[in-house]
Structure 1
Amino acid sequence: MIFFFLFCFFGAVHSASEVHRLHYIYTAFSKPASQPGMYQFTAMGILDDRPIDIYNSKGQEKIPLQEWMKDNNGKDYWEKGTHSRRSKEQWFNVNVNILIERMRQNKSDLHTLQWMHGCEATKRADGTMKFLKGFDQYGYDGKDFLSFDNKDAVWVATEAQAEPTKKKWDNVGILSQYTKGYLETDCVDWLQKFTGYQEKQDKEHGYSLKPKVYVFGKKSTKSDHRTLVCLATGFYPKDVEVTILRNDVELKENDGVVSSGVRPNGDRPGKWLSETFQLRKTLEIMASDPAKYSCKVQHRSLPEPIHEIWDGKCCNCSPGSTGGIIAGVLVGLAVLVGVGAVVLYKLFKRRQAIPLEGISVGSGPLENQPLAGEEPTSTPNGSLGSNDSGLPENQPLAGEAGGQ
């Protein structure tokens, strides 16, 4: 029954959009973590919800987490990445202590400073990427602290203690220009390159898994309505097209179709092809609607689309209804791990949560770029200093090096 409720009430979050995402997260603790598998500093890169590289304060080496990252980036790339992350580890260690002083906190307590940045883009027919949005934000002790407004190229303080940093960084015009340029151009270039590496290896090794498709009804918030659900799950790679049809006519978002977007299932532990994906589309319909509803799924693993017709049954729509419950349990078993992974991931992105098992996320492709962007080989015009922080010489996140 637990599986059933997880399945039936896990709602859609945002509209469908075939996008790719590259982002990085750094996490620094104010003192060594006491739990096994957690480190005082950790950084990881993530492509489309899949970790691609990692660094921690114990190993102090940036290493690949995907075969295609290892095969397509040479020794120089990883050496520069290691140097950059060691530099950032020092930067974070200094600044987490400055923030503790600024907020008049007890140094014996454990405090956390995090940074997440990256970009999202759509893939054009010719294989190039079109920028959608960029994000660059800092969190402190699990709360939003400072973020970059990519549209207006200004920093936004969400805590009063972040105001001194906002003012300093806004006064460095080249820093905002550089951050905006990285998010809109450099990040997208690396996103295109990395997805290209991954897709090439997938094709060469035949990595492709067919989706399983389920169509069912569930109880709506309106007593005279039902929620029709079309779920495709267990497929790889992530690009998929799912369509709800009414009397064989395709329905769109303006017809009321809502999509969860493509999400990771978090399954297949221990295998190189470490996880599959799922996508769910829903539609509110009248309980008395006599139309024929169906679901069509297209994926590169399929010689032809899967077309499943809804049998009109509804899970949990009336007392004593067992058929829907059984179906819900079976499908819930298939997606339970994915639901949990997605919920935790959403919470992490929203609240900058501390990662588990030493996995925080961070650092990017342009080696040695300042902290406000990500690892370029040199700072623009040499005007941001040489401390690899992306800020005026020796400027820490919380203000001047001595703290305020």
Structure 2
Amino acid sequence: MVPVLLSLPLLLGPAIPQDTQAGPYSLTFLYTGLSGPSKVFPKFQANAFLNDQAFFHYDSGDRKAEPLGPWTQMEGIEDWEKESQLQKARQDIFLETLHDIMNYYNDSDGSHTFQGRFGCELQDNRSSGAFWKYAYDGKDFIEFNKEIPAWIPMDPAAHNTKRKWEAEAVYVQRAKAYLEVECPQMLQRYLSYSRKPLDWQDPPSVSVTSYKAPGGDRTLKCLAYDFYPRGIHLYLTRADKVQDPQSAREVLPSGNGTYLSWVVMKVPPGDRAAYTCHAEHGALDQPLTVPWDERQETRV
């Protein structure tokens, strides 16, 4: 047995010259295999993402690789029949690896999962990162280090997997070549079709709200929403001085293809200083500032 990808031909077309591009852009594959039947999830599914947008999907139910989102309207981006055949072969190898791990642990009962995540990134037409990792039942199992190069076990059963996947030196070199050459070429080819859906930008809307519990501090919340892409710098100032947030900043999907983020901080009783929320985002020509208006306070 060899790594899930490396025993199979990779369906790559010729690299397509690109105009200077900024990025970063990423191509990510996420594979999930289940040992037991499920009414909700197929036994195997593969999803591909360009940046954070779902690009195509395959599962063991209909065994068809199909484009998603704006890529359903693009002709020639991929031979989907051949891609379906490729994903079917990867499915067989992927599930075989899962059963090998289960045999090692004598885990024949219950449902177990095996997941793989791999891909690459480009910045200004140059490779800027790559990753290839597997997990068993939600815990790190094995990952590829392309600098050594070698598969790094992170689980006792993974030592058997490492021996199989490194049985011939060519397998290790092929994994390295996939991450450093083949994946970036594939991403460049997809970008020749995908710049418009990947480069769209929506600026954030920002609001500042507050609430006060009886006898307690005020809590300010600066919320930015409906922005894309994901990167944003959001912060609060007091009398024009940047304040540390009460909790770590988070950026989460809104459910409609955009993102939202917020920062929260406490305001002691009697503090009448001017508080302002600031948002910096690629879709904004200049930072957006929204002052806190105490009249909008909610009492709880």
TM-score (norm 1): 0.55
The amino acid that maps onto 1:94 is: E
Kindly indicate whether the alpha-carbon contact (under 8 Å) linking 1:217 and 1:227 is maintained by their aligned counterparts in 2. Answer: yes
Deviations 1:246-299, CA, capped at 9 Å, x for gaps: 4446x4xxx7468635431123xxxxxxx2211334568877766533223355
Q: Which has the higher contact order (CA 8 A, sep 6+)?
A: 1
2:137 corresponds to which residue?
141
1:103–1:256 distance in 2 versus 1, CA, 3 Å: same
SS at match of 1:117: strand
1:211 corresponds to which residue?
204
Displacement after TM superposition at 1:113 (Å): 2.3
Displacement after TM superposition at 1:71 (Å): 0.8
Alignment of 1:24 onto 2:23? no
Alignment of 1:161 onto 2:150? no
TM-score (norm 2): 0.70
In proportion to residue count, which structure has more strand? 2
1:42–1:212 distance in 2 versus 1, CA, 3 Å: same
1:189–1:109 distance in 2 versus 1, CA, 3 Å: same
Alignment of 1:47 onto 2:50? yes
Q: Any residues of structure 2 matched to 1:4-403 within 5 Å, and which?
A: 20-31=25-36, 33-35=37-39, 37-68=40-71, 70-71=73-74, 73-76=76-79, 78-106=80-108, 109-119=110-120, 123=123, 127-128=124-125, 131=128, 133-170=129-166, 172-188=168-184, 190-191=186-187, 194=190, 197-201=193-197, 209-216=202-209, 229-238=221-230, 240-248=232-240, 251=242, 256=244, 260=249, 262-267=251-256, 275-281=257-263, 291-299=273-281, 305-311=287-293, 323=298
In structure 2, C-alpha distance between the alignment counterparts of 1:228 and 1:280, rounded to whole Å: 10
CA RMSD of aligned residues (A): 4.0
Displacement after TM superposition at 1:45 (Å): 0.9
In structure 2, C-alpha distance between the alignment counterparts of 1:168 and 1:305, rounded to whole Å: 54
SS at match of 1:160: coil
Kindly indicate whether the alpha-carbon contact (under 8 Å) linking 1:256 and 1:284 is maintained by their aligned counterparts in 2. Answer: no
Displacement after TM superposition at 1:311 (Å): 3.5
In structure 2, C-alpha distance between the alignment counterparts of 1:197 and 1:72, rounded to whole Å: 9
In structure 2, C-alpha distance between the alignment counterparts of 1:201 and 1:184, rounded to whole Å: 25
Identity rate of aligned residues, in percent?
Answer: 28
1:134–1:303 distance in 2 versus 1, CA, 3 Å: closer
In structure 1, C-alpha distance between the alignment counterparts of 2:232 and 2:75, rounded to whole Å: 26
Kindly indicate whether the alpha-carbon contact (under 8 Å) linking 2:204 and 2:224 is maintained by their aligned counterparts in 1. Answer: yes
In structure 2, C-alpha distance between the alignment counterparts of 1:213 and 1:42, rounded to whole Å: 38
SS at match of 2:81: helix
The amino acid that maps onto 2:253 is: P
Displacement after TM superposition at 1:229 (Å): 4.2
SS at match of 1:138: strand
Displacement after TM superposition at 1:212 (Å): 2.2
**How many pairs were matched up?**
274
1:215–1:66 distance in 2 versus 1, CA, 3 Å: same
Deviations 1:218-242, CA, capped at 9 Å, x for gaps: 89xxxx9987543211224445454
Deviations 1:70-119, CA, capped at 9 Å, x for gaps: 5164453x23322210111121232333233222232x643332212224
Kindly indicate whether the alpha-carbon contact (under 8 Å) linking 2:211 and 2:298 is maintained by their aligned counterparts in 1. Answer: no
In proportion to residue count, which structure has more helix? 1
SS at match of 1:113: strand
The amino acid that maps onto 1:276 is: T
